[in-house]
Copies of this chain bind each other. A is one copy, B any other.
Amino acid sequence: MGDELKTVKIGLLGFGVVGQGVWKNIEQNRSALETRLGVELNINKIVVRNLNRERLISVPETILTTNANEVLEDDSIDIICELIGGTDEALTYTEEALKRGKIVVSANKALICDHGESLFELARQHGGHYFYEASVAGGIPIIKTMREALIANRFSLIFGILNGTSNYILTRMEREGLSFEETLGDARKLGYVEADESLDLDGIDAAHKLVILNYLAHGIWVNLKDIICEGIRSISKEDIEIARQLGYKIKLIGVIARDFSHNSVSVRLHPALIAKTETLAEVNEVYNGVSVTGDVVGTTVLIGRGAGQDATSSSVISDIADAVSLLKGEASTGRHTSVDPKACPDEITLELSPPDRLEGRYYFRFHVKDEEGVLAEISNIFAKHHISFATVNQKELSDNSALIMVTTHKSSEVSVLAACEAVKQLGSFMADPVYLRIFNPEDYSA
């Protein structure tokens, strides 16, 4: 059976940064790759919007087309790579391909986050396959690791840095004492920020990936609107400096914390203070990192390039390789090698833990008029909400105002929000209070 397969035909939908990377890197390592796989790889059709656009990678004109049906309807094409991005055409084409029982390889985190549930269902119904390693954390093999290498595990905690752009901004703010705005300007110049800046700066891109990881780990789809999703716009250089003094770094992290005793899972994406001694605290610049705690293996951390043409195409090509294995043999249909991370028995009733059930330590920044008694007033309000302070730092500013930065002992998110609202009623504030969560993975040890 496997012996007959000599050439695998691949069609690309889209030939932008990632598509050109896939082409370039298959060419670069063709001999190694074909030896390892035992087949020839042939990209024989590429669907583009504009045939005449100048591209850094040049390919034979005859394989370019503007008609997606030349890929979707060509039964000789074994693997279709959807590298268009977005959720419009990409959705239509992916649905069409999966309805035809095709193998689809995707790097499209937004599409899978929004439509994964129906797309995996389509694949299952029609015998298609949907591979998506490149959709989360670029070149880091987190999908394969969780699905295959850690298959013996149930996952109590997954947390990670999943957006390179925001990590780049936070790293430079920390290293150079720059403000968010100053660093953002450089990130834009370097082309690190998506056209829709909100994806990077408001945490949405990372949240897309988090939703996919949660599905993979726990078999349920959560809706982006039901989870905490906060970006890095409110982080100031003072926050980073005080965090540093207290032994923390500020990172934008995604957290998936499973509570086995209540059969619930907390999924959230927000900036947090994490101890400097955590491995992920040293994941800097555009790198991503994911920490996975399984009940058998313990904690495993993966760090690597989370985006970019080459890292992403490395993952797309690994999915192509897995698809080749599938073509050479026969599909396995479990969560393991194929399409559908089936829910485990107890996951059928698994609930998303509501944000207001969160507890932990918090950091606050209050920008107040430099008047007598302000700190006392704030302290009183917090005490009424049963929040006690662990550390207090005050910094005088030149305009007769002051920053008061506080960390708390363990408190509930509900109390924190209520105290914040109450504090805002005081007349002494120059700006709304800012709060950040302090994340300690040890709070989640099984």
Interface check A337, CB cutoff 8 A: yes
Chain B hits for A304, CB < 8 A: 297-301
**CB-contacts of A287-331 with B (<8 A):** 294-305, 310-311, 313-315, 317-318, 321-322, 324-326, 328-331
Beta-carbon nearest neighbor of A304 in chain B: B300
Per-residue CB contact flags for chain A residues 17-55 toward chain B (1 = under 8 Å, else 0) read: 000000001101101110111110000000000000000
Give chain B nearest CB distance to A148 CB in angstroms.
Answer: 6
Give chain B nearest CB distance to A13 CB in angstroms.
Answer: 19
Chain B hits for A26, CB < 8 A: 152
**Which one of A138-146, A187-195, A225-233 is at the B interface?**
A138-146
Interface check A150, CB cutoff 8 A: yes
Return the contact of A148 from the options B28, B139, B321, B336 (Cβ within 8 A).
B321
**CB-contacts of A203-246 with B (<8 A):** none
Beta-carbon nearest neighbor of A39 in chain B: B334
Interface check A58, CB cutoff 8 A: no
CA distance A39 to B332 in the complex (A): 11
CA distance A269 to B140 in the complex (A): 26
CA distance A139 to B301 in the complex (A): 11
Considering only CB atoms and an 8 Å cut-off, how many residues of chain A contact the other chain?
A: 71
Return the contact of A29 from the options B149, B279, B296, B343 (Cβ within 8 A).
B296
Interface check A100, CB cutoff 8 A: no
Q: Is the CB of A152 within 8 A of B282?
A: no
Q: Is the CB of B149 within 8 A of A36?
A: no
CA distance A313 to B139 in the complex (A): 27
Chain B hits for A151, CB < 8 A: 33, 36-37, 317-318, 321
Beta-carbon nearest neighbor of A337 in chain B: B325
Chain B hits for A332, CB < 8 A: 2, 38, 324-325, 328-329
Beta-carbon nearest neighbor of A142 in chain B: B149
Interface check A9, CB cutoff 8 A: no
CA distance A220 to B37 in the complex (A): 18
Chain B hits for A345, CB < 8 A: 31-32, 35
Question: Given known contacts A151-B321, A314-B297, A337-B325, is B302 in contact with A302 (CB within 8 Å)?
Answer: yes
CA distance A179 to B314 in the complex (A): 45
Interface check A153, CB cutoff 8 A: yes
Q: Is the CB of B154 within 8 A of A150?
A: no
- Can you name 8 extra interface pairs (CB under 8 A) apart from A26-B152, A144-B149? A2-B332, A32-B345, A33-B151, A35-B335, A35-B345, A36-B341, A141-B144, A302-B303
Can you give 17 A-B contacts (C-beta < 8 A)? A2-B333, A28-B296, A35-B335, A37-B334, A38-B332, A139-B300, A140-B300, A141-B145, A144-B144, A151-B317, A277-B282, A279-B279, A279-B283, A300-B303, A301-B302, A301-B303, A325-B336
Interface residues of A (CB under 8 A from B): 1-2, 25-26, 28-29, 31-33, 35-39, 133, 139-141, 144-145, 148-154, 277, 279, 282-283, 294-305, 310-311, 313-315, 317-318, 321-322, 324-326, 328-337, 341-346
The 3 tightest CB contacts between A and B, nearest first, are A141-B149, A329-B329, A152-B317
